[in-house]
Amino acid sequence: MAIATQGDVVTYSDTGTTKNTAQGVVLMVPGGTAALGTASAPLVTQGVSAGGVSNASAWNYAAVAGGIVDTTAVTIKAAAGAGVKNYLVGMQIQNSAAVASEISVRLGAGGTVAWRGYVAGPGILDVDFAVPIASAANQLIEVVMGTTATATRVNAQGYTGA
């Protein structure tokens, strides 16, 4: 989340057309109106072109049918191309089997573990990364279970960028 200060130029898009404004942006918020960038109307850049995430760069990964059932890595976001990084901002993990397991997010095929968690059997884990996990340029992101005999469904969301 970014906060605009007085005098900042804010770039936003409401219909796919980018607009700039140097002042006077007012948003409707619960209970009335507020100037953009105040505590009651913070500037959220995800989903817009204000140095944040454009809608075109957002990605989603839907769980495989039946879930992950072994310790074979599953690519949740393919490498994005030369000079482009993948950013992971959230995951929802559901294990419907009786077997609990560790789950890891790795950067690159068989690469460095960037995050490790535990999902009960059966259990649900909802993860929002306040600071997105960022791959290197042109590097995939994968998940891998630490235990076989799970039935773990992983859904993930993120975006690509420099």
Smallest CA-to-CA distance from 71 within 148, 5, 129 is with 148
Residue 3 inside a domain? The answer is no
pLDDT digits 0-9 by tens, 78-113: 999 999 999 999 999 999 999 999 999 999 999 999
Residue 2 inside a domain? The answer is no
Residue 110 inside a domain? The answer is yes
- Do 45 and 64 lie in a common domain? no
- Do 80 and 142 lie in a common domain? yes
Residue 24 vs residue 55, higher pLDDT = 55
Residue 38 inside a domain? The answer is yes
Q: What is the CATH number of the domain that holds 93?
A: 2.60.120
3-state secondary structure of 161: strand
Structural contact between residues 105 and 143, judged by C-beta atoms closer than 8 angstroms:
yes
Q: Please compute the mean of the pLDDT values over residues 140-153 and round it to a whole number.
A: 95
Question: C-alpha angle 72/69/67, rounded to 5°?
Answer: 105
- Do 69 and 115 lie in a common domain? yes
- Residue ranges of E strands in 73-151: 74-77, 85-95, 101-107, 112-119, 123-134, 141-145
Domain span at residue 30? Answer: 10-52
For residue 10, what pLDDT is reported? 43
- Do 124 and 79 lie in a common domain? yes
- Do 46 and 85 lie in a common domain? no
- Do 77 and 46 lie in a common domain? no
Residue 82 inside a domain? The answer is yes
Q: Please compute the mean of the pLDDT values over residues 121-144 and round it to a whole number.
A: 97
Residue 40 inside a domain? The answer is yes
- Do 97 and 151 lie in a common domain? yes
**Rounded CA separation 90/96 (Å):** 20
% residues pLDDT > 70 (the chain): 65
- Do 64 and 47 lie in a common domain? no
Domains of the chain: total: 2
Residue 96 inside a domain? The answer is yes
